Amino acid sequence: MSEGLKLWLPEKPSKELSRALRRMTETEDVRQVAVMPDAHVAEDVCIGTVAATSSRVLPAAVGGDIGCGMLALRFDIEAECLADPKLSASLLAALGSAVPCHRHVHRTSGPLPEELLSWTLSAPRLEAMKEREARAEFGTLGRGNHFLELQSDEGGALWLMLHSGSRAMGPAIRAHHERSAPRDPSGLAWLEADSEAGRSYLSDAAWAGAYARANRRFMMTRVIEVLAELLRTTPDPTSLIECDHNHVRREVHASNALWVHRKGAMPAEAGAMGVIPGSMGSASYHVEGRGMESALCSSAHGAGRVMSRSEARRRISVRALEEEMRGVHYDRRIAHRLPEESPSAYKDISKVMRAQRDLVRIVRRLRPLLVYKGT
């Protein structure tokens, strides 16, 4: 492995993962690569990878779901209120109506914030998508590993955790800018950051990040309304934690100005708060960054997969899923579509957290009570 590669893996990397990481270190202009404990093989660049360059930006090292991230918020009620299965069923139904997974029908979503509307994207096609898809998907959760979860902390307080990103816009932005970009011998598309093409990508990616943040905030507002109606509870605004784990930004490390790309990795500067989810049946964590420079001030963004989605569908039965989800409320009508998100499809989150003890400090541990997901 390259001297510029630092790993925090809880296990020995597979040959496939090692090859993918070597490819990343051999890409021109990549100065440092940090591999988080939740790293696993994905298209082009592994999830859980942090890559720093001097002058180039690598869209694949951010991924398609630009701005994808987490939000956590505490409510002034005890989590034990969710022990009533009838109430939990009512909550799931109400959340499904308030926060659709896919698209709003008949443009019933909230209006896009003015900041997003007035921000011009770099291509007419992207602007047209902003008027169509971005509006129709604003305030929606998405599918895959995106979720909305109600949790209990160690003291029994009720928390919301929400995971979502830039929906259709992020992948469209990545595809648009990679289409005409030159390719490194490693196969990765690249752009000079200080060129017209590079500046256009960075501006569009920043818009996608702003869209993802606004989307999470809008969904949070809808959840607050649901919980106020059904539980007569209000949130503590001072408890809010927000972070994203798919981005590129200019940072200074060891006195060097670098373009730091995080794909499925959370910023963990000293004192920065973050949210690290487990699977939908395991613990999650709120953490404080330690500012570890050799990790480019980063940490894991979650548990990380041990099975691909197709492998999980083959190997995990609905019955096994239901057993793993014992004690957690979820929509059992879609259980046959959820094995790929089963806890056993992911790494043991406790091992991930132990592997990064020098990257973050655990502030609190939370357990899932109710999970709302799309398929």
Catalytic residues: 301
Q: Where are the beta strands (DSSP E) in the chain?
A: 5-7, 30-40, 47-53, 56-57, 69-78, 147-153, 157-164, 191-192, 235-244, 246-253, 256-263, 265-267, 273-276, 284-289, 298-300, 360-373
Tell me how far apart the alpha carbons of residues 147 and 163 are, in angstroms, rounded to a whole number.
Answer: 5
Among residues 361, 181, 340, the alpha carbon closest in space to that of 287 is found at: 361
Among residues 296, 293, 300, the alpha carbon closest in space to that of 362 is found at: 300
- CA angle at 35 for the pair 29 and 37, rounded to the nearest 5°: 170
Count CB atoms within 10 A of the CB of residue 241.
18
